[in-house]
Amino acid sequence: MPTKSVIENVTNLTLDLGLVRIAEAVSDLRRCKLQIRFEYALFVQEELLPKQCEGKWVIEHAPMALVAKFQAEVRKVAEENRLTPNIRLLCSTFPQARRAVSSGYAAILPTNAFMPSDLAGIRQFTLPFQIPEFASTEANLALVWNKRSEKIRPGFRKVIDAFKQELCGSSQNAASPAQESKTPLQ
């Protein structure tokens, strides 16, 4: 859901936790800064594929949905690899591109765009070439929650710690208490 909705729902306790870009978390909420590195893959519905194919075939033949800000770089790198991407739909966000996959498009998305249970009928390919813009994508995100949740829900800190560990991939990458803010974000 949009960041504004996440913040609104966490503020009114409709949601327990939210994940937003740290720059957009401007509310009277507690937060923990997370740095998450994203990996990318190519996703497409299996029914659009021939029996034997690889990522290069998908790039050239399947209709692709692509986040608009990456269009120039994807075209450039594909052409350097002697491929002509079949880009048919430009999206504003990754969630839009993800929805396009269910409408019959292939898309380059973060590998965590789909839950394992959502992958039925969808095939994931390793990108057939390196895209520099994607290779270095790291997001500064904030896990946000309402301070009232800690008061009214026993064990809420354990939930927060579990989410930090899961989102960052390991306890070493999880945000330390020093990175946590008990004051509103500025």
* Residue 164 burial (CB count, 10 A): 20
Count Cβ atoms within 10 A of the Cβ of residue 141 and give its class: 0-12 exposed, 13-18 middle, 19 or more buried: buried
CATH of the domain at 101: 3.40.190.10
Q: From first to last of its 186 residues, what are the pLDDT tens digits of the chain?
A: 778 888 999 999 999 999 888 888 766 888 888 877 778 899 999 988 988 899 999 999 999 999 998 999 999 999 999 999 999 999 998 889 999 998 999 999 988 777 777 788 899 999 988 888 776 566 678 889 999 988 888 899 898 888 887 776 543 333 333 344 443 332
Clarify whether residues 83 and 62 are in a common domain: yes
Alpha helix segments (H runs only) across the chain: 3-11, 55-61, 71-80, 94-102, 132-135, 147-152, 156-168
Statement to judge: residues 131 and 147 lie in one domain: no
Query: Tokens 């939930």 — which residue?
Result: 159
Here the tokens at position 72 are 């120039």
> Considering the entire predicted model, what is its pTM?
0.65
For residue 11, give its domain range. 3-37+139-181
Say if residue 49 is in the same domain as residue 120: yes
The one-character DSSP state at 90 is E
Please indicate, yes or no, whether residues 150 and 126 belong to a single structural domain of this protein: no
Cα(131)–Cα(129) distance, rounded to whole angstroms?
Answer: 6
Report yes or no on 186 lying in a domain.
no
Beta bridge partners of 67: 91
Question: Is residue 176 in a domain?
Answer: yes
Q: In what order do the strands lie in the sheet with 30-37?
A: 17-21, 138-145, 30-37, 180-181
Q: Token pair of 150, please?
A: 């800690």
- Taking a C-beta distance cutoff of 8 angstroms, is the pair 113, 60 a contact? no
